[in-house]
């Protein structure tokens, strides 16, 4: 694993945080930032440690999917140590931080596809993955993984060409990766500390939810449910209303918007 000190210095020079990114590890190529972050977390890495790769060869997303992460995009993992109550809120923190960063840099109002995809004009620009180790009532560590398409040309990848986009494709303007990374880490810290102090970010998260009111299919494990995405609970769970009028509360799943 070859480190990229130049990229680390470029980010650090723009970073204005208390603890997030103070331990910053940048690499040219990794199999997965999540894998390296977990290895460091198990060994006792301090909270706020960040792993960044210029390129991932085996990046992963939710539900065991592969996440494409060629050079020019952002692959980042952040180690945190929240309490058990705030663990479900990490997905809200991560997606809102991405939305705020995109808005600041491009003035684009991105949206959220439940539970944690960030969209621009119904196309995926960012994926978020949360992994953690919990023993009893103690969260030993949690890792926020963020894959953000900055310069990805989706047309080069036929399997995602119709469903993915990038900031460059949407704005046709240059985006400074170090600046974007520094802003994102700052927003992550602001939101994390606010939640830690008791702030409620659920309403802001829900207000940007693209999924609400749509007829969807939700796959969770071996179970498939269909209905209208009626609401999102403060704990992040999705309320699905079926055609018979009954509702189901869904903790996690893979959502596909259906046409009726």
State mean pLDDT over 212-236: 92
Same domain, 49 and 144: yes
Instruction: Give the residue from 190, 207, 224 where a domain finishes.
Output: 207
Same domain, 160 and 85: yes
**Residue 63 clears pLDDT 60, i.e. is over it:** no
> Where does the pLDDT of residue 60 fall: very low under 50, low under 70, confident under 90, or very high at 90 and above?
low
| 54 or 133, which is more confident | 133
State mean pLDDT over 82-97: 96
212 by Cβ neighbours in 10 Å (0-12 / 13-18 / 19+) ranks as middle
> How many domains does one find in the chain?
2
Same domain, 184 and 130: yes
Same domain, 117 and 40: yes
**Residue 65 clears pLDDT 60, i.e. is over it:** no
pLDDT of residue 31: 86
Enclosing domain of residue 226: 215-257
Distance of CA 239 to the CA centre of its chain: 21
Same domain, 95 and 193: yes
Same domain, 119 and 55: yes
Strand positions, DSSP E, 123-259: 123-135, 138-148, 215-220, 223-232, 238-241, 247-250, 254-257
State mean pLDDT over 122-141: 95
Same domain, 106 and 51: yes
- Chain segment 180-203, per-residue pLDDT in tens: 999 999 999 999 999 999 999 999
State mean pLDDT over 122-129: 94
**Residue 53 clears pLDDT 80, i.e. is over it:** yes
Residue 235's domain is classified under what CATH number? 2.30.30.100
Number of Cα atoms under 13 Å in the Cβ half of residue 172: 0
DSSP three-state, residue 148: strand
**Residue 172 clears pLDDT 90, i.e. is over it:** no
Number of Cα atoms under 13 Å in the Cβ half of residue 219: 8
Residue 111's domain is classified under what CATH number? 3.30.930.10
Same domain, 153 and 197: yes
pLDDT of residue 2: 61
Same domain, 34 and 11: yes
State mean pLDDT over 2-22: 89
Helix residue ranges per DSSP H, the chain: 5-12, 33-42, 90-106, 167-171, 177-196, 202-207
> Where does the pLDDT of residue 149 fall: very low under 50, low under 70, confident under 90, or very high at 90 and above?
very high
Same domain, 186 and 223: no
Same domain, 189 and 228: no
> Where does the pLDDT of residue 250 fall: very low under 50, low under 70, confident under 90, or very high at 90 and above?
very high
Whole-model pTM? Answer: 0.92
Residue 143's nearest CA partner among 29, 7, 26, 38 is 38
Same domain, 156 and 242: no
State mean pLDDT over 43-63: 82
């Amino acid at each position: 694993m070859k480190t990229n000190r130049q990229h680390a210095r470029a980010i650090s020079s723009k970073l204005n945080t208390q603890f997030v990114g103070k331990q910053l590890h940048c690499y040219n190529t990794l199999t997965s930032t999540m894998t390296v972050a977990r290895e460091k977390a198990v060994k006792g890495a301090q909270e706020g440690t960040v792993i960044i790769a210029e390129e991932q060869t085996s990046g992963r997303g939710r539900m065991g999917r592969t996440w494409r992460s060629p050079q020019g995009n952002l692959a980042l993992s952040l180690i945190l140590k929240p309490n058990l109550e705030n663990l479900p809120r990490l997905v809200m923190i991560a997606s809102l931080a991405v939305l705020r960063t995109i808005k600041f840099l491009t003035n684009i109002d991105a949206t959220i596809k439940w539970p944690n995809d960030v969209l621009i004009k119904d196309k995926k620009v960012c994926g978020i993955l949360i992994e953690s180790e919990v023993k009893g009532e103690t969260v030993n560590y949690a890792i926020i993984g963020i894959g953000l398409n900055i310069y990805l040309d989706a047309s080069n990848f036929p399997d995602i060409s119709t469903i993915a986009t990038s900031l460059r494709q949407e704005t046709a303007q240059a985006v400074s990766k170090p600046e974007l990374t520094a802003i994102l880490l700052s927003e992550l810290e602001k939101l994390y500390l606010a939640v830690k102090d008791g702030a409620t970010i659920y309403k802001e998260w829900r207000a940007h939810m693209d999924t609400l009111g749509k007829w969807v299919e939700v796959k969770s494990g071996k179970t498939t449910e269909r209905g209208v995405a009626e609401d999102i609970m403060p704990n992040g769970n999705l309320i699905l209303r079926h055609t018979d009028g009954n509702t189901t509360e869904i903790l996690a799943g893979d959502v596909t918007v259906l046409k009726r």
